[in-house]
């Protein structure tokens, strides 16, 4: 039986002042903590921390905190990596608030690496001019940050955590968002529950699992972007998908990551012949921006020469203590990184595009805020600078909390409905046939290298898959894939992470961000499929 949405939509926000946060990753947890003691509800598809890309982050958080560093230097590096379309005012705001957010995390118990005198140990990553990466145990920053925040959330009485609730739709009344609809039991229940809310904060993560090869967890399927798009939100920069150049190529899904910090510590990229190919492509070699390194690795792999990250000299016997996560992944696959180069391949790692937001995390829909990878703030431009993602998540999550606290009245108790109807849209744990096909198509035609012919084929195939599978969750994913494909087709140049083989040059006339709604994308799709 189809669910009757009209029956659960509140006539107004009167009497409803709950805040619902969608997602249990870094942005969601940090926002909830910053909203304390105001009551909030976190809806998470899995136990908080599981399924969150932030928990898998290895490098750390970029923050200008060393004596030789400055906000201006950090901004210059961010702008350079962003290939001409970074929103500089927003990026400066993010960078200037970075040190304060690091101190917040320290207060929540994050055990950042320190020297014997108690000073933070800072590392360097690609395209950074200074050592400014705050990390934990070499490559455990994401996991350690999440462990500390989860503990803080668990002991905060104002935060209600509801795990196993897969949010499938935003409740939208015109341009007003007034709640969400979620499915319990990790998305496998036939029942769906409505959560009315005065404020919804979307922190649902990225799009990596729309591609065949990704470093993201399976939960990163772009569903948050899809829900917002279907509700009428404006999207920005959908075409810019970042590929991490050094995913460990051992056939795993998701692919384990060999952190950029390895190259920051001197590891080099070689092919089967032992040739250090990045020296041919960029003055900074392995420390060039991610898009350049990813294309270099992609070219070697595509040509059959292979690509390997050689850490034997730069890290050597210290590997297991300095980079325990990478070391464990290698050993489990039968690779000894102390003695052997690590086979690597580019993998989808981060989406610079997403729901368009302002400096306070507000979307184009009233009542809807968003933070983290689901958004496009403009701070990354066409190519994110390494370790700016965790920085962006905490800075804008904190700004959202401050903004909401200034808008909403004092909280009152509200009795939630137990159910909101049923339908037969059963959810399975495994990828559907259509999703498997979609992932293959996205990697083939919207991957590291793109062209018009492939993108048009992809768009036609997405339309076909949408006709085959009208389920809500697949519809969300297909919407995001469609936005990425249409955005990539519309940008007839190569810029940052977006590389067109039929338009290999950068175009000054396209030095700008792009904005699109799902209706805009659907009109272009209709023209292509005839």
Which residues are catalytically annotated?
290
Tokens of 332: 């489990």
Q: Are residues 270 and 341 in contact, defined by beta-carbon separation less than 8 angstroms? A: yes
Neighbour tally for 526: CB within 10 Å = 10
For residue 33, give the nearest of 101, 90, 94 by alpha carbon. Answer: 101
Query: Which two tokens mark 255?
Result: 């692919």
Contact yes or no for 164/155 (Cβ under 8 A): no
* Sheet architecture: strand order including 235-236: 375-376, 354-356, 235-236, 515-516
Measured over the CA atoms of residue 389, residue 57, residue 258 and residue 222, the dihedral's sign is: negative
Query: CA-CA distance, 144 to 135, in Å (whole number)?
Result: 9
- The C-alpha atoms of residue 43 and residue 207 are separated, in whole angstroms, by 19
SS3 category, 22: strand
**Residue found under tokens 């400055």:** 70
**Cis link prior to 37 (omega < 30° from 0)?**
yes
Q: Given strand 308-310, what is the order of strands in its sheet?
A: 241-248, 342-351, 308-310, 268-270
* 15 close to 31: Cβ distance less than 8 angstroms: no
């Amino acid at each position: 039986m189809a669910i009757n949405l009209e029956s659960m939509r509140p006539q107004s926000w009167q009497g409803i002042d709950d805040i619902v946060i969608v997602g249990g990753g870094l942005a969601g947890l940090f926002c909830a903590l910053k909203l304390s003691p105001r009551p909030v509800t976190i809806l998470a598809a899995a136990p908080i921390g599981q399924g969150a890309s932030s928990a898998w982050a290895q490098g750390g958080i970029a923050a200008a905190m060393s004596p030789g560093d400055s906000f201006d230097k950090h901004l210059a590096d961010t702008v350079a990596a962003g290939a001409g379309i970074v929103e500089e005012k927003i990026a400066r705001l993010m960078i200037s608030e970075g040190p304060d957010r690091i101190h917040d995390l320290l207060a929540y118990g994050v055990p950042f690496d320190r020297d014997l005198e108690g000073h933070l140990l800072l590392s360097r990553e690609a395209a950074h001019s200074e050592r400014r990466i705050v990390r934990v145990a070499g490559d455990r920053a994401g996991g350690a940050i999440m462990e500390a925040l989860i503990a803080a959330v668990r002991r905060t009485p104002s935060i209600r955590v509801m795990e196993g609730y897969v949010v499938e739709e935003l409740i939208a009344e015109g341009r007003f968002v007034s709640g969400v609809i979620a499915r319990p039991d990790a998305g496998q229940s036939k029942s769906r529950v409505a959560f009315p809310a005065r404020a919804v904060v979307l922190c649902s993560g990225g799009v990596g699992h729309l591609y065949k090869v990704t470093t993201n967890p399976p939960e990163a399927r772009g569903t948050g972007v899809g829900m917002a798009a279907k509700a009428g939100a404006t999207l920005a920069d959908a075409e810019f998908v970042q590929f991490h150049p050094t995913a460990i190529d051992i056939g795993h899904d998701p692919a384990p990551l060999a952190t950029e910090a390895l190259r920051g510590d001197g590891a080099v990229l070689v092919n089967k012949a032992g040739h250090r190919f990045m020296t041919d492509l960029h003055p900074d070699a392995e420390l060039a921006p991610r898009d350049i390194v990813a294309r270099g690795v992609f070219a070697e792999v595509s040509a059959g020469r292979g690509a390997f990250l050689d850490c034997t000299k730069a890290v050597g016997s210290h590997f297991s203590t300095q980079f325990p996560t990478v070391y464990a992944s290698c050993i489990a696959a039968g690779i000894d990184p102390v003695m052997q180069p690590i086979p690597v391949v580019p993998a989808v790692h981060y989406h610079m595009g997403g729901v368009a937001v302002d400096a306070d995390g507000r979307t184009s829909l009233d009542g809807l805020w968003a933070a983290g990878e689901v958004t496009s703030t403009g701070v990354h431009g066409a190519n994110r600078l390494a370790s700016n993602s965790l920085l962006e998540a905490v800075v804008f999550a904190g700004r959202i909390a401050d903004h909401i606290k200034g808008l909403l009245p004092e909280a009152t108790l509200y009795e939630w409905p137990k159910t909101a109807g049923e339908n037969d849209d059963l959810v399975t744990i495994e990828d559907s046939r259509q999703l498997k096909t979609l992932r293959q198509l996205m990697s083939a035609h919207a991957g590291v290298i793109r062209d018009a012919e492939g993108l048009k084929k992809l768009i036609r195939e997405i339309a076909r898959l949408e006709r085959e599978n009208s389920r809500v969750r697949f519809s969300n994913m297909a919407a995001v894939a469609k936005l990425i494909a249409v955005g990539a087709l519309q940008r007839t140049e190569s810029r940052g992470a977006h590389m067109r083989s039929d338009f290999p040059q950068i175009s000054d006339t396209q030095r700008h961000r792009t904005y699109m709604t799902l209706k805009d994308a659907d009109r272009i799709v209709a023209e292509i499929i005839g």
